[in-house]
Amino acid sequence: MNLNLISDPWIPVRTRQGKRVIAPHEIADPDVLFPDWPRPDFNLNTLELLIGLVSLAVAPQEEHEWYEIGAEIDPSSLAKHLAPLTPFFNLLGDGPYRFMQDLDDIEGSANPAEALLIDAAGENTSKKNADLMVHRGRHEGFDLPTAAIALYTLQNSAPSGGAGNRTSLRGGGPLTTLVIPNDAPTLWDIVWTNVPIGTSCQDEASIKAALPWCRPTRTSEKGTGEVTSPPNSEKRISPEVFFGMPRRIRLRATEGLVTGWAQVPWGTNYSHFIHPLSPYYANEKGKPHDPPLLPIHPKPGTLSYRDWLGLSLRRPPGEGGEVARCVQEAEAKLDRDDAQNRLLVAGWSMKNMTPVDFQWSEIPLQLGMSPDAEDTARQMVDAASLAASFLVKQLGVALNLEAGDAAAIAPEREAFFHDTQSAFEEALLHLARGGDADQLAQLKAEWFRTIERAALRRFDAAVLPGLALRDISHPSQRADAKKIPPGSAEAVARARESLRKQLWSKKMLTDTLGVAKEQITKSKEVA
């Protein structure tokens, strides 16, 4: 039994009529809405795989072609474009090419099928019986569609996995950002919006050159191995970014069920690739031969608006780093006035090779904002971050916390951003509409009042309920009679006043938010 990822139906999806299983060309059916695997990382990687397939088969070379091709595509025409890929996308079978697997039939270490999952217990974890959060023994085998997407997910997001087991082209657990156009997109809308402007592979030779399982592996043993870098081209995105294969793997199947897989170390060691679906930051500490940009990786915890700007707005000159190319190109592809455009931000957050959690968030994507509006948005986020740091510091003082107890109030920082998020989203809508200097100053003044109220409200909520239970003995009864008792009502009052003064400081108003105190006062009187 075999599965061909181009011609066979294997992708579970949601449609307007319910659920069904489709072949890749059927994503152009306007009734098909979204992948429908039971795992979010499978859904994310299905989107990436489909973007890669369409890019490989029919990538537009110019912006005007993006519109023309997109308007003409239907399931039948997309099937014709994808057809040349068919011989190279068998999961199993007798042919030389197996999807995302080594060209050689390797006989390496044996792994259970479930070890394809990013969050499966590793070999050392199982031996030490340490799989409390990362569990083993959940799956005895995978059907072929599940094995295919699990294999792609592993190769596309591979964390470091012991000596010689290379990470993915973007490192372990990369952050992916996908533009979600309008308020009710089809699956084709999402895929086509994120296909980069580039060059498709029209013949067998170029297809085989783009797919690493169609050539001998570029191994990376210490001292004798290779480093694989992208072709020298500013225009073209190398198709290998969607099909990077850092692990040397061969699946083992019995009667249509993948029960295990073999692996040998020292697969492809990727460097200097820029993936069109990921944001990057400047590698300021890199050596001369290191890549100048490094991919951003998800952090554990909730994604809040303080993280948005580095994902959705171009960096100012001199700051380094880039938003994902799909975001850059969206400005030319989509309606800039559509407030419903959003950005899907997803990926595994990792810690020491271990998955911590899977991030999945959608954030507003305001396209075509003026430079002044973008600067205002950055100032607003910086001001909120500063207010959150003031809040946490003064809570530590009010509650008389030792340095080692800081984690106890860390959630207050996240709660502050949660409390102010809807106000920030509303402010973004105003910024997207533009405005003169006075209007931007008015918006910043209103934003300051928002974060001031939120910070003081969170302070009061954290310290007042338990105030009556704390030690508030009279100072004259203590050895340090001249000092205010830590945690007393007077100490809490002074900490609150310090927070208010810090919020109204020059560091906040002038240096960070770029607004004068008089503007805040005037705005308050008008309101």
Residues 377 and 320 in one domain: no
Domain boundary among 328, 360, 392: 360
CA distances, 296 to each of 187, 315, 394 (Å): 26, 14, 31
3, 144 in Cβ contact below 8 A? yes
Name the average pLDDT for the chain: 89
pLDDT at 236 (0 to 100): 63
Question: What's the one-letter identity of residue 307?
Answer: D
Range ranked top by mean pLDDT from 297-306, 440-449, 478-487: 440-449
pLDDT tens, residue by residue, 318-375: 677 899 999 999 989 998 777 789 999 999 998 877 898 999 999 999 888 899 999 9
Share of the chain above pLDDT 70, in %: 90
Residues 419 and 333 in one domain: no
pLDDT at 478 (0 to 100): 43
Q: Report if residue 1 sits inside a domain.
A: no
Q: Which residues, 6 or more positions from 375, have their beta carbon under 8 angstroms from its beta carbon?
A: 316
- Residue 232 above 80 pLDDT? no
Residues 353 and 446 in one domain: no
Domain boundary among 315, 335, 360: 360
Residues 198 and 273 in one domain: yes
Q: Which residue has the higher pLDDT, 450 or 340?
A: 450
Residues 337 and 406 in one domain: no
- Cα–Cα distance, 327 to 321 (Å, whole number): 13
Residues 354 and 379 in one domain: no
Alpha helices in 363-488 (DSSP H): 371-398, 410-432, 437-463
Provide the edge-to-edge strand list for the sheet that holds 18-22. 18-22, 11-15, 32-35
Q: Report if residue 367 sits inside a domain.
A: no
pLDDT tens, residue by residue, 241-259: 999 999 999 999 999 999 9
pLDDT at 409 (0 to 100): 86
pLDDT tens, residue by residue, 287-312: 888 999 999 999 887 789 999 988 99
Residues 306 and 268 in one domain: yes
Domain boundary among 339, 360, 381: 360
- CA 421 centroid distance within chain: 19
Q: Report if residue 90 sits inside a domain.
A: yes
169, 245 in Cβ contact below 8 A? no
CA distances, 173 to each of 18, 191, 297, 467 (Å): 32, 21, 7, 44
Q: Report if residue 79 sits inside a domain.
A: yes
Token pair 């249509």 in the structure block, residue: 256
Grade residue 137 by pLDDT with cuts at 50, 70 and 90. low
Q: For the residues 139-148, what does the mean pLDDT come to?
A: 93
- Residue 194 above 90 pLDDT? yes
Residues 445 and 417 in one domain: yes
Got the DSSP string for 480-491? TTTSPPTTSHHH
Grade residue 133 by pLDDT with cuts at 50, 70 and 90. very low
Q: Report if residue 440 sits inside a domain.
A: yes
Classify burial at 214, counting beta carbons within 10 Å of its beta carbon; exposed 0-12, middle 13-18, buried 19 or more.
middle
Give the Cβ contact number of residue 53 at 10 Å. Answer: 25
- Cα–Cα distance, 248 to 225 (Å, whole number): 14
- Cα–Cα distance, 325 to 18 (Å, whole number): 33
Q: Report if residue 4 sits inside a domain.
A: no
Residues 225 and 142 in one domain: yes
pLDDT at 487 (0 to 100): 66
pLDDT at 199 (0 to 100): 83
Q: Which residues, 6 or more positions from 418, have their beta carbon under 8 angstroms from its beta carbon?
A: 302, 304
355, 173 in Cβ contact below 8 A? yes
pLDDT at 382 (0 to 100): 96
Q: Report if residue 510 sits inside a domain.
A: yes
pTM of the model: 0.91
- CA 493 centroid distance within chain: 41
- The full length of the chain comes to 527
Q: Report if residue 226 sits inside a domain.
A: yes
Residues 100 and 194 in one domain: yes
Grade residue 483 by pLDDT with cuts at 50, 70 and 90. low
| Range of the structural domain that residue 29 is part of | 11-360
pLDDT tens, residue by residue, 115-132: 999 998 455 444 444 444
- Cα–Cα distance, 97 to 107 (Å, whole number): 17
- Cα–Cα distance, 75 to 23 (Å, whole number): 10
Residues 351 and 402 in one domain: no
CA distances, 366 to each of 312, 328, 363 (Å): 8, 12, 10
Return the CATH number at 456. 1.10.132
pLDDT tens, residue by residue, 487-501: 678 889 999 999 999
pLDDT at 468 (0 to 100): 58
Residues 262 and 376 in one domain: no
- Cα–Cα distance, 101 to 114 (Å, whole number): 17
412, 357 in Cβ contact below 8 A? no
Q: For the residues 378-382, what does the mean pLDDT come to?
A: 96
pLDDT tens, residue by residue, 397-412: 888 887 667 778 889 9
Share of the chain above pLDDT 90, in %: 67
Q: Would you state the structure tokens that stand for residue 478, as one six-digit string? A: 């203590």
> What's the structural domain count of the chain?
2
- Min mean pLDDT across 45-54, 125-134, 335-344, 506-515 is at 125-134
343, 362 in Cβ contact below 8 A? yes
